[in-house]
Structures are given as structure tokens and as C-alpha cells.
Amino acid sequence: MSTSWDTLTELAGTVGEGTIRDLLEKDPSRATRMVVEGAGVTFDYSRQRVDQDVIDALLALADERGVLQRRDAMFAGERINVTEDRSVLHVALRMPKTESLVVDGVDVVQEVHSVLDRMKAFADKVRSGEWVGHTGKRIRNVVNIGIGGSDLGPVMAYLALQDYSDRDLTFRFVSNVDSTDIVEALRDLDPAETLFIVSSKTFTTLETMTNAGAARDWLRKGLGDDADVAKHFVAVSTNATEVAAFGIDTDNMFEFWNWVGGRYSMDSAIGLSTMIAIGPDNFDDMLAGFHAMDEHFRTAPPAANLPLLNGLLSVWNRNFLACPTVAVLPYEQYLSRFPAYLQQLTMESNGKRVRLDGSPVDYETGPIYWGEPGTNGQHSFYQLIHQGTSTIPCDVLFFAESLNPLGDQHDMLIANALAQAAVFALGRTEDEVAAEGVPAELVPHKVMPGNRPCSVIMVQKLTPFALGALVALYEHTVFTAGAVWGIDSFDQWGVELGKVMAANLIPQLKDGVAGAPTQDSATTATVARYRAALGRS
Ligand code: F6P
């Protein structure tokens, strides 16, 4: 691929074959040297299987691959999403009002703030009770209907920032076309007090439009056919035509733009439910956190640039240490959906097999991201991380201060986070196990190979600002890795084929319409079995 790639391949055979235990023993200073800070996030990569030569070669790789030029092109609004011929400007969503970014003759920062102002006015009305439903009752329930980027960000942020939310309001998130999702979400809600936010960039997504229709039916069933639906439905979309066609007054539509990717949209109008939950001021703090990390990514020197280093480390672990997955382990219950959110961000972005010019890659790209909050995961899947046959790099994430201090529990939580990070990195040798008097036959079972690369990420306290900074960290981490791999991290063509096929299958399942002659025999046979199971054949 390049000179640095070759250097890194060589280093993989030396440093990569060594142990983190040795690295830490031989150079204790790495524990303080391999730590960078940005936007209130402290990123400690001293437990990664790297030395300074690896870091230097990774930085040289970033240089050769033009990562910083691509970063600057993104911030300048160039159309770096080449397959969709679009700018990639989620960074504009959090630029302060005093800044300006003109793209195609339009100052996008002013557009962003004019929508933010409308969102704030609306959120205040809902929060204060001024916005009332059809019967005059104030809104007490907010239901976001959306999927993918129009769901995962809102639900993750709501849960993450619940401590800052108005507890008099109930929030629900409906995404799945499985009717159970909406039926359970609405079961105990009073339609007179319920507001639906239909969130969809395209406003054509099957799941969202189907659920929005079901919500409208539920509302009319509860409030009568003459109910003023407009008082209970608002839309967040880029597509005013489809919003109007659905019957939502475009005055009640909060706009965003096609230069915001779905998975990069939680700080756009897609965050309307977040803003209603935590209030406009807290939402502004979250935007400030995003922006602080953007500025860090844009201006910090490469060797001290947190997202750049994190992205390069993910390349090292994926391509040179051959690790196919990454576990994200937040030691913070409020971040229970953070790994799920990151799955879309990372895997829809970097799950690609061709370069920008369409040529196939001859190296691995995006790893699988997964995880659960600690300490729960410790009693579930950590066994495989510790003693399984795959090496799984881990991001261990925690906050110094608890939002709900209770006795010693926070110290216990953090002790567990640090213990796991140490065991991932160092393991426990045969000698150590034997020295504990373990019977010889059990020694191999109790040996922990360690050498699992691990980053420890610490933030002072979970605030809206901190959440924004953390999400932006991962956004730019994904960007960095995608730029090294030379892929388009901002399209998602792989999800389209299944949607088209599902649309063709609906009439087959429902009405027995014949499939196209080209349809595969396995699908045709399963359709027949499904229809038979329902007595439809
Ligand atoms: O199917 C994938 C996807 O297009 C995601 O990229 C997107 O976040 C999601 O569907 C929802 O799309 P929309 O916001 O247009 O409904």
C-alpha cells in the first residue's frame, strides 16, 4: 500500500509479536507518555501493543494517505462523499452562530442555527406545557419514530442524559417494523397527551412510515376521526414534499440537510427528542462538546490528536495485529446504548470493500464493534476476551464522578474497570498461577494470556458536553480509519438491496403473488412454508 504500510508490517513481526507486559515493564514512562487529552477526554493508550516506532509509522501512514488533507476537505465542505456526490458536514451542526461556512453559496452555519432556534422554541413550548394536544391537555409523552440514525442517536442520548431530563415527561422510541415495538410503546399512553416526532432523513423508510401510519391510526382511534393530528405530530426530515404528503404541516417540520449522514445526525434536528428531554441549554452544551472535539481534531498536532491516534490504533489492530472485532465497554450504566449507537456509526461507515475509485481493497477494513456496560459484561462475555482464541481490543470507558453516588459503589465500579484493563493487557502467566499453589493440572486453565490491546478513556463527569465530545471522538476515529483505507465512510449502498427485495416479498407473503423467475429457490420455498403455516396456501 505504501512505505509506512511496509514498515508497519515489519513492526507487526517484532513489536506486534511482543507483549504489552514487556512494553510496560521495560518502559514505565509510557503509562504517562502515551496519554493524550482533548475536549475533556483523557485517552490512555499505554496498554496498546505499540511502541513509539509503531506510533511514528502510523502517523507517517496518515501522512502518506492524506488523512489530514481529507479532514480539512471535510471541514471545508468539499464533496468527500464521492459516491453520493455530497459534502460531509456534521461538523457544521455544532459550529457556533458566530462562525460561517459557505457551501454552494449558502452559509450552512446560519441555516443550522435558524433550525436550532425553531427547535428551541418548540421544545420550550412542550416542556412548559404551552403546547397542548387536540383536547387541550398538555403533552406528557414524546414518542420518536425513526430507525437507524434516526433512532439510535436519540435513544442513546436520551438514556445517556436521563439525569438531565425532565422527569415529568415520558420518552419512548419506536423503530422496528415488528408491530410489537409500537404496540408496547403506546400500550399505556394517553393519546391526548402524546406527541409523535417522525424522524426520517428521507421520509420514505418502510419501517418509519409504517409506524407513523400506525401511530396516526392509534391517535384517531383514541381521539376521534376529527382529531387535530397536527397538534400531535411533528416531523424531522430533509424531505418536505414527503412530509406534506404524509399529512404533517411543514410548519411543524424541522429540517436538516443531505450533507448530514443519518448516523452523524443526532446533533441535528434528529435530536429534537433529546432537546425536549434535556432542554435547549443542555442541548447547547452537548453541541459545545461536539465542537470542542471537532476543534481538537482539526487543530491538535498529530501526535497529540486523540481521534487521529484512536483511528490509527484501530488500523494497527485491524490490519497488522489481525483483530476482527473491537469491544466497547463503558463503565457507566447511562451509556447502556452507546455500543449499539457505535455499531451503526462504525460499521455502516467503514464496512466497505472497495476504495473511493471503485477498486477492491486488498486489506481488511472496518472491524465489528460490540459491547455492553461494565460490570455486567464481566459476568457474561469477558471470559472469551480473556481466554478465547481471538484477540479482541477493548475500549474501557469511565467517568471519574458518579451522577448517583451511593456508598462505595463508584469506587467499586472503577476498580473493576481498571482491574479488567490490567488483566486484558497483562494476563497472568504460568509462573504466577503456579506460585499461587494451583494444582499442575489446573494451571493451563487458569493462565490468562493477556496481550489484549486496551485503551482507557476517562472523562470527569457524564455531562451533555462530555457526551458530545465522546461521540465526536468516535466520529473522527471512524473518519481517520476510513481515510487510511481510502474508502467512502459516508455512503451505505450495502443496505439497499435487502430493502428492494423485502418490498418484492411483501405481496408474495400476503397475497401469494408469484416471485420473479430469477428469485432463488431457498427464498421461494421459505415463502411457501410461511404461507402454509398461516393457512394461506
Ligand atoms: O437503511 C440504512 C439507513 O439508510 C441508515 O443509513 C439511516 O440512518 C436509516 O436507514 C434511516 O433512514 P431515514 O432517516 O431516511 O429514515
* Rounded CA separation 164/155 (Å): 14
122 by DSSP, 3-state: which?
helix
DSSP string, 219-241: HHHHH-TT--GGGTEEEEES-HH
* Rounded CA separation 322/311 (Å): 15
**φ, ψ of residue 144 in degrees (nearest 5):** -90, 125
Strands, E assignment, 29-92: 35-38, 41-47
State pLDDT tens for residues 495-512. Answer: 999 999 999 999 999 999
Report CA(509)–ligand 1 centroid distance (Å). Answer: 24
Q: Considering Cα of 496, then 499, then 504, then 508, what sign does the dihedral take? A: positive
Which residue's CA is the nearest one to ligand 1's atom 10? 148
State pLDDT tens for residues 354-364. Answer: 999 999 999 99
CA angle 289, 266, 270 (to 5 degrees): 135
Catalytic residue from among 207, 255, 332, 348: 348
Once rounded to an integer, what is the mean pLDDT over residues 480-488? 98
131 by DSSP, 3-state: which?
coil
DSSP H helical segments within 76-151, as ranges?
108-128
Beta bridge partners of 255: 237
Sheet containing 41-47, strands listed edge to edge, beginning at the edge strand earlier in sequence: 35-38, 41-47, 454-459, 394-399, 325-331, 368-370
Quick one: pLDDT band at residue 529, thresholds 50, 70, 90? very high
Q: Please report, rounded to a whole number, the percentage of residues in the chain having pLDDT higher than 70.
A: 100
* Rounded CA separation 143/182 (Å): 10
Residue 1 pLDDT exceeds 80: no
Asked if residue 334 lies in contact with residue 278, where contact means CB atoms within 8 angstroms, the answer is: no
Q: Of all atoms in ligand 1, which is nearest to the CA of residue 348?
A: 6
Q: Would you say the CB of residue 208 lies under 6 angstroms from ligand 1? A: yes
Quick one: pLDDT band at residue 259, thresholds 50, 70, 90? very high
Asked if residue 68 lies in contact with residue 62, where contact means CB atoms within 8 angstroms, the answer is: yes
Catalytic residue check, 475: no
Catalytic residue from among 379, 441, 445, 496: 379
State pLDDT tens for residues 270-321. Answer: 999 999 999 999 999 999 999 999 999 999 999 999 999 999 999 999 999 9
pTM of the predicted protein model: 0.97
Q: Of all atoms in ligand 1, which is nearest to the CA of residue 205?
A: 16
Which residue's CA is the nearest one to ligand 1's atom 8? 149
> What is the pLDDT, as a whole number, of residue 227?
86
Q: What string of H, E and C letters represents the secondary structure of 390-430?
A: CCCCEEEEEECCCCCCCCCHHHHHHHHHHHHHHHHHHCECH
